[in-house]
Structure 1
Amino acid sequence: MRAIQQPCEVTHLTPDGTPKVIRWAGRTYHLTQVLDQYRAGGRWWLGEPSRDCWVIQCGPVTMEVHRLDEKEGAHPHGWFLARMQD
């Protein structure tokens, strides 16, 4: 997977909060399978917030999408695309 580390837009969620429709770089990706889900603590010494993370399949594309915990100064959208393999 290649590192992306850019904001993305999540427009739909499953009932349990998993990102279902992701928009990034002018493209729309639809969830087909959840491969993994975990919680990461963030680098506290750099002031990073904790986050929920999903590794998901969107057709032929595998994505790792993170949702940052709400915190002053956190990413404005809360969601970002960490890694992607297409």
Structure 2
Amino acid sequence: MAVVVGMLLASSAWASMRCADGILSTAEDIQSVLSKCGEPDSRAREPAEVDGYGALVPNAVPVERWVYGPQNGMYYHLRFVDGRLAQVRSRRSPQ
């Protein structure tokens, strides 16, 4: 129950992002986001987690974090899980 409440509260921080060629929606793949929005201003990739023996941890997937901005004073933070857009968050740039 607490997890569900936490997810609902966290969802209020989520945002949408409009690009030159459309609006992003969750579950879009990386190529679709690139075609709509172009290259991000920064991009970081976290590979899937491996154990001490070098084997993939069960259910581990790569995560990418992208940042676009500032665009009209806003930064857009995108998180991709296993190549699919999982979250878009926005925040106003510091003054």
Q: For this structure pair, what is the TM-score category when the shorter chain's length is used for normalisation?
A: 0.3 to 0.5
TM-score (norm 2): 0.41
Higher helix share: 2
TM-score (norm 1): 0.43
Higher strand share: 1
Higher relative contact order (CA 8 A, sep 6+): 1
Of structures 1 and 2, the larger Rg is shown by 2
